[in-house]
Structure 1
Amino acid sequence: MTAPPPVRPQTPPTPQAPEPPRPPLRVLAPLRETGKLFALAAAVTRAIFRRPFQVREFIEQFWFIASVTILPAALVSIPFGAVIALQVGSLTEQLGAQSFTGGASVLAVIQQASPLIVALLISGAGGSAICADLGSRKIREELDAMEVMGVSPVQRLVVPRVLATMSVAVLLNGLVSVVGTLGGYFFNVIMQNGTPGAYLSSFSALAQLPDLYISEIKALIFGFIAGIVAAHRGLGPRGGPKGVGDAVNQSVVITFLLLFFVNTVLTAVYLQIVPPKGG
Structure 2
Amino acid sequence: MSVDNKVPVSDVKGKRAAPRTPNPLLGPLRQTGKLFALGLEVARATFRRPFQFREFVEQFWFIASVTILPAALVSIPFGAVIALQVGSLTQQLGAQSFTGGASVLAVIQQASPLIVALLIAGAGGSAICADLGSRKIREELDAMTVMGVSPVQRLVVPRVLATMSVAVLLNGMVSVVGTLGGYFFNVILQHGTPGAYLQSFSALAQLPDLYISELKALIFGFIAGIVAAYRGLNPRGGPKGVGDAVNQSVVITFILLFFVNMVMTGIYLQIVPPKGG
Q: TM-score, normalised by structure 2?
A: 0.94
Q: Give the AA of the match of 2:135.
A: R
Which of 243, 264, 271 aligns to 1:245? It is 243
Match of 2:71 in 1: 73
| C-alpha displacement of 1:14 | 7.5
Residues 58-97 of structure 1 aligned to structure 2 (within 5 Å): 58-97=56-95
Match of 1:39 in 2: 37
Give the distance between the partners of 1:65 and 1:89, measured in 2 at CA.
35
Q: Render the CA deviation track for 1:123-149: whole Å, top value 9, x for unaligned.
A: 000000000000000000000000000
Match of 1:7 in 2: none
Which is greater in Rg? 1
Give the distance between the partners of 1:46 and 1:266, measured in 2 at CA.
24
Match of 2:179 in 1: 181
Give the distance between the partners of 2:138 and 2:24, measured in 1 at CA.
28
Give the distance between the partners of 1:34 and 1:254, measured in 2 at CA.
11
Give the distance between the partners of 1:87 and 1:52, measured in 2 at CA.
51
Match of 1:127 in 2: 125
Alignment CA distance shift 1:239-1:23 (3 Å): farther
Q: Render the CA deviation track for 1:213-264: whole Å, top value 9, x for unaligned.
A: 0000000000000000000000000110000000000000000000000000
Q: Residue 182 of structure 1: SS of its match in structure 2?
A: helix
Q: Gapped runs of 5+ residues in structure 2? A: 11-16
Give the distance between the partners of 1:243 and 1:17, measured in 2 at CA.
40
Q: Gapped runs of 5+ residues in structure 1? A: 1-9
Alignment CA distance shift 1:96-1:167 (3 Å): same
Match of 2:102 in 1: 104
Q: Give the AA of the match of 1:46.
A: R
Compute the RMSD of aligned alpha carbons.
1.7
Q: Residue 25 of structure 2: SS of its match in structure 1?
A: helix
Could you tell me the percent identity over the aligned residues? 86
Alignment CA distance shift 1:227-1:14 (3 Å): farther
Match of 2:223 in 1: 225
Give the distance between the partners of 1:141 and 1:132, measured in 2 at CA.
14
Q: Give the AA of the match of 2:166.
A: V
